[in-house]
Amino acid sequence: MINYLTEQVKFDLRDKRKISDWIKETIREETTGNKVVGDIAIVFTSDEYLREINIKFLKKDYYTDIISFDNSTEKKISGDLIISKERVKENSIQYSQSFCDELHRVVIHGILHILGYNDLIESEKEIMSKKEDYYLAKRGWINNAI
């Protein structure tokens, strides 16, 4: 089950069902149907709240748009995506994207982390970026060819 929550911000996400279906399809494709969707919490919060989590759990003192926690088991993909609504808005302006487009990118980025992808080095970043573009285009949320 995919749940949408808020912490310290007001936010009403539109198209939750469409986004949930997209996440489930992505997980099915990435795991070739060998795993099911477990519990995924997508929490929208403030910059400060997410920074506190970054400090507490990752020992990093800076703002970020998303932190992903993987709680998957052998058979189920589960985890938490904690997203700074403020940082997504800032990034959308910086990258000349709509808020919705940037939010979709951040969500799929977090899902890819839960699925085991990393972005610590340039070659990993490139793979993740291509995967993000692929799944965004597949849903028609960017114009890049699949």
Shortest CA distance to 117 belongs to which of 30, 40, 58, 39?
Answer: 30
Q: Which pLDDT does position 144 carry in this prediction?
A: 46
Q: What are phi and psi of 14, to 5 degrees?
A: -85, 155
pTM given for the model:
0.94
**CA pseudo-torsion sign 35, 36, 39, 42:** positive
For residues 52 and 69, give the distance between their C-alpha atoms in angstroms, rounded to a whole number. Answer: 15
Q: Could you read off the pLDDT of 8-32 as tens digits, one per residue?
A: 999 999 899 999 999 999 999 999 9
**pLDDT over 60 (residue 85):** yes
**pLDDT over 60 (residue 50):** yes
Domains annotated for the chain, with CATH where assigned, are: 2-138 (3.40.390.30)
